[in-house]
Amino acid sequence: MLIKKIKDIIIICNNLKKRGKIIVFTNGCFDILHKGHLHYLFESNKLGDYLIVGLNSDKSVTSLKGPERPINDQESRAENLLSTGIVDNVVIFDEPSPYNLIKKIIPSILTKGSDYKNKHIIGSDIVKSNNGRVVLIPFLEGYSTTKIINNLSKKP
């Protein structure tokens, strides 16, 4: 599987837009892929024709989640996402937020989990100003990478 560079993603997106295709974008760490992630990605995928995941780099995950993270390196996380058959493309970003990535891609739809309700969604201004929309995907309760890690640390 091939993880694309941003310049390649921009070309792909421009070609898809010319053909009237709907590009969906989401982002995250996706450190240990679980049922909650799969639900979120599947629902995001249903909204359009092409799903791109902006994946936090290892450096970015460490700055967000702490020195013990990520559990899986960025290449493994990207390959896991692509292997689901739900995600069309992954682009790894090293910045603290995906704002510049969203600015370059200009997706038709930006998705986040419903836990972002009443929170600022990075890139929403870009998407909305380009006649796109932001969709909150219902959160699947009981699933989180942190919970998995905590459960593993309790095992004898």
How confident is the model over 132-153, as a mean pLDDT? 78
- Report pLDDT digits (tens) over 21-52: 999 999 999 998 999 999 999 999 999 999 99
Domains observed in the chain: 6-141 (3.40.50.620)
For 9, the token pair is 């993603």
74-128 pLDDT tens trace: 999 999 999 999 999 999 999 889 999 999 999 999 999 988 788 899 999 999 9
Say which residue the tokens 């639900």 belong to. Answer: 39
Average pLDDT for the chain: 91
**Quick one: how many helices (H) and strands (E) in the chain?**
7, 5
Helix (H, G, I), strand (E, B) or coil at 86: coil
- Report the alpha-carbon distance of residue 84 to residue 39 in Å, rounded: 11
Q: CA separation (Å) from 93 to 3, 42, 111?
A: 12, 22, 17
Would you give the DSSP letter of residue 4?
Answer: P
Where residue 146 falls among pLDDT bands split at 50, 70, 90? low
Strand stretches in the chain, DSSP E: 23-28, 50-56, 89-93, 109-113, 133-137
What does the alpha-carbon distance between residue 26 and residue 21 come to, in Å, rounded to a whole number? 16
